[in-house]
A and B are shown apart, each in its own frame.
Chain A
Amino acid sequence: MELAQFLTYGVINGAIYALVAIGLALIMGIMGIFNIAQGSLAMVAAYASFFLFQYLGIDPFLSLVLTMPAMFFLGLLLHEGLFSWMRNFSAGQKLRNSLLVAFGLVLILENLATVLWTANERCVTTAYSGAVLATAGLRIPYIGLSAVGLSILVIFGLHFFVKRTLFGQSIWAISQDHQCAHLMGINVRRTTLIAFGLGVALSATAGAVISLYTVSPAVGLDWTNKALILVVLAGVGSIQGIFFSGLLLGLVEVMSVYFVGVHYTGVAGLVIFILVLMFRPQGLFGKQVGV
């Protein structure tokens, strides 16, 4: 049935949006660093996944064991070089300066990617690209299914990590009040460094999925914009909320085809976003605490 097929794609698309946003949710929502280079980092990770597939034949979902650590280390380097000096800034100053630094990074990454890899569009086409799980009249693409699975794993995994592990809780504590966290014995410097690396490593998961669709050097900002919408829709600081908000956005977009046509699905999603903000200014799952 057509409606069910649309809903299937809605869930898949939503899960992908959530994957792109989760790294930003950690870095921006919890650490207060306005990293608009998140989409560009996902782009770099997507290229890594693409080249690992093209030259070594490794499936993007499998090459995550390589790309995630690589992006983690890249994140550490970026933090030390570009963001650590803002550690003790006020929230407003940190937001502003991190925005500027991240923007410089966006330009650098895009131009570097164009020079190194050309601006031609790339995509990974695996043996199972296009293959579907056909049940009950529905065609569920395996790639989409895997993306949803990955999204659930990553987001709820992160949520569990932040709420239940000691390290995760120290990240959370720092986001609430880093003076206090410091007094409590948390090594603020090391924790924020690792948390940032983690946020960048998460972009590798988005990159893997993106590479299965299409990637080119200029897509960074587009994905970042989507991620920003989602982080705010969920409520800044929320992690689980990212998944559900992503689903909401994906489903709204596919359902809006019935009302406004395919060329306005983007608008429909944004309108719902704004309506949510009007009635719940702190986002769907947001609390008033945090940054």
Chain B
Amino acid sequence: MKKKVLLVSVAAIVSLAMLLLFHAPGGFAQPAAPKTIKVGSSISLTGRFAAGGVDVADGYKLAVKHVNDAGGVMVKEFGRKIPLELILIDDESDPSKTVQRLEKLYSVDNVLVYMGEFASDMNIAGLGIAEKNKVPWIGVTIAVENAFNQGFKYTFAPCMFSFMEVGSLFDALDTIPKDRRPTKIANFELQVDWGKECTKYLNKMAAERGYKVVLEQKYAPDTKDFASLILAAKSAGADVLFSVPTPPQSMTIIKQMKELDYAPAATCFIRGPDLSNYWQVMGKDANYILTCGEWTPEMPYPGNKKLVDDYMKANPGKPIGMQVGCAYGAIQVLADSISRAAKLDRESVREAIAATNLQTVRGKVTFDKRGIGNVPWSLCQWQNGKLEVVRNPDFKAKPVLLAPAWGKRQ
């Protein structure tokens, strides 16, 4: 019995002590110039979404390094440059942990701004916390428009959303001469919110722009067998295939399409084939696949060359993922906003972010009233081993290649 009392007391004291250590004074505004400007992010460095998480972390770190190499961000309020301090904490790809991390960044580290992370599951948890804590939040990959229709004032996302992804596909298809243009669309709808949002815009834009959705079929994130979907698309004569599969599904669907001999002229998987090693693992089967075009190392935007060179130096031999560029761009928006903010506090920075008008490594960024970024609607395609931009409003892109039948490919 004494042991039990001892145990309970010890446990209670230990936990209380640990937490007391984390008690922080309230408030953020400080009278003298801080040594660093703290920004924080909860990132999936482990777990299901670690692939994108690590890329986002790399992009953030590289951008912060470049900012600090130049002395830091010029802060009007104190008339001098102050370096950024980036705090990244793992959340195991678990949204419940995301909340804990963000609260720590808020009440212990007193961050000025939250930076987003890779996957929607966690980003969504973060949006609510950002709004509740009144801390500006800059996202890096989030495609769900609905999340920005909630009237939140502190959340910003300079990236492509569902309607932009779908729109970029139609933009790309429009560049194909009418006599060869594929117009019959099969939509495999992943049962997640942005999958359904894409469906909505697909149907709307197809009607407006002279295309036809001939098939709509649902599947879930755990689906591994796509035979019925593929056979249905084949018999409906669809020559465009659209979906937003999870990365493993973006591989199994293609493999099964080859087994069932279904090769639509255009296959657009927004997520999955945007992984830098997609061609490496899929080989020639990856040829002709259209995918998200948020950022590639070759984009002729200012700052890209330096980004890519430094990344290669730090990570020799590692192919550079799309998220690295997106994350870099997000930090650029951050640094620019801080430099324009009247004072170094959250409200001023928030106002500055909303007024952003900046050329970044991923193109020009402004924000609409909801915080959704106005970024170039861009699309990529795997062409003979390289991820080429086939549609971009700012520069001349490579032409879209239509896929021949499986048997006719080299």
A binds B: yes
B330 within 8 A of A: no
Using a CB–CB cutoff of 8 Å, the interface residues on chain B facing chain A are 46-51, 53-54, 93, 191, 217-220, 222-229, 231, 247-248, 251-252, 255, 258-261, 272, 275-277, 281-283, 285, 406
Is A119 a contact of B54 with CB atoms below 8 Å?
yes
Is B50 a contact of A217 with CB atoms below 8 Å?
yes
Find chain A residues with CB under 8 A from B50 CB: 114, 118-119, 217-218
Is A262 a contact of B226 with CB atoms below 8 Å?
yes
CA distance A210 to B93 in the complex (A): 23
CA distance A28 to B49 in the complex (A): 30
CA distance A2 to B232 in the complex (A): 10
Is B223 a contact of A130 with CB atoms below 8 Å?
no
21 residue pairs from A and B, CB less than 8 Å apart: A6-B227, A6-B228, A9-B225, A114-B46, A120-B247, A120-B275, A121-B247, A121-B248, A121-B275, A121-B281, A125-B281, A125-B282, A125-B283, A129-B258, A130-B285, A139-B259, A213-B252, A216-B247, A262-B223, A262-B225, A265-B225
What's the minimum C-beta distance from B275 to chain A, rounded to whole angstroms?
Answer: 6
Find chain A residues with CB under 8 A from B219 CB: 262-263
Chain A contact surface mostly: helix
Find chain B residues with CB under 8 A from A219 CB: 248
A157 within 8 A of B: no
Find chain B residues with CB under 8 A from A213 CB: 224, 248, 251-252, 255
Is B259 a contact of A218 with CB atoms below 8 Å?
no
CA distance A222 to B227 in the complex (A): 21
What's the minimum C-beta distance from B289 to chain A, rounded to whole angstroms?
Answer: 13
CA distance A213 to B227 in the complex (A): 15
Find chain B residues with CB under 8 A from A261 CB: 217-218
CA distance A213 to B225 in the complex (A): 11
A141 within 8 A of B: yes
- Give the 4 A-B CB pairs with smallest separation, nearest first: A130-B258, A119-B50, A119-B51, A214-B248
Size category, A interface: 35 or more
Do A262 and B220 contact each other (CB < 8 Å), given the known contacts A119-B50, A218-B47?
yes
CA distance A265 to B191 in the complex (A): 13
Using a CB–CB cutoff of 8 Å, the interface residues on chain A facing chain B are 2, 5-6, 9, 13, 110-111, 114, 118-125, 129-130, 132, 139, 141, 144, 213-214, 216-219, 222, 253-254, 257, 261-266
CA distance A124 to B196 in the complex (A): 31
Is A139 a contact of B261 with CB atoms below 8 Å?
yes
Is B259 a contact of A132 with CB atoms below 8 Å?
yes
Find chain B residues with CB under 8 A from A13 CB: 224-225
Is B220 a contact of A263 with CB atoms below 8 Å?
yes
CA distance A218 to B221 in the complex (A): 14
Complex: chain A residue closest to B188, CB-CB: A262
Is B229 a contact of A262 with CB atoms below 8 Å?
yes
Find chain B residues with CB under 8 A from A266 CB: 220, 222-223
Complex: chain B residue closest to A261, CB-CB: B218
CA distance A217 to B218 in the complex (A): 27
Please pick, from B46, B51, B53, B217, the residue contacting A110 in the complex, using a CB distance under 8 A.
B46
Please pick, from B53, B261, B281, the residue contacting A123 in the complex, using a CB distance under 8 A.
B281
Find chain B residues with CB under 8 A from A5 CB: 227, 231, 260
What's the minimum C-beta distance from B277 to chain A, rounded to whole angstroms?
Answer: 5
Is A129 a contact of B281 with CB atoms below 8 Å?
no
Do A216 and B281 contact each other (CB < 8 Å), given the known contacts A129-B258, A130-B255, A139-B260?
no
Do A111 and B46 contact each other (CB < 8 Å), given the known contacts A122-B281, A125-B283, A139-B260?
yes
Complex: chain A residue closest to B282, CB-CB: A125
CA distance A261 to B188 in the complex (A): 12
Complex: chain B residue closest to A125, CB-CB: B283
Complex: chain A residue closest to B260, CB-CB: A139
Is A125 a contact of B223 with CB atoms below 8 Å?
no
Is A2 a contact of B51 with CB atoms below 8 Å?
no
Is B225 a contact of A263 with CB atoms below 8 Å?
no
Do A253 and B51 contact each other (CB < 8 Å), given the known contacts A122-B281, A139-B259, A266-B220?
no
CA distance A167 to B22 in the complex (A): 59
Do A120 and B261 contact each other (CB < 8 Å), given the known contacts A218-B47, A266-B220?
no
CA distance A110 to B285 in the complex (A): 28
Find chain B residues with CB under 8 A from A263 CB: 191, 218-220, 223
Please pick, from B226, B227, B248, B259, the residue contacting A216 in the complex, using a CB distance under 8 A.
B248
What's the minimum C-beta distance from A29 to chain B, rounded to whole angstroms?
Answer: 25
CA distance A111 to B225 in the complex (A): 28
CA distance A213 to B251 in the complex (A): 8
Find chain A residues with CB under 8 A from B48 CB: 218
Is B406 a contact of A262 with CB atoms below 8 Å?
no
What's the minimum C-beta distance from B366 to chain A, rounded to whole angstroms?
Answer: 32
CA distance A217 to B406 in the complex (A): 31
CA distance A130 to B225 in the complex (A): 14
Complex: chain A residue closest to B226, CB-CB: A262
Is A130 a contact of B406 with CB atoms below 8 Å?
yes
Find chain B residues with CB under 8 A from A6 CB: 227-228
Is B223 a contact of A121 with CB atoms below 8 Å?
no
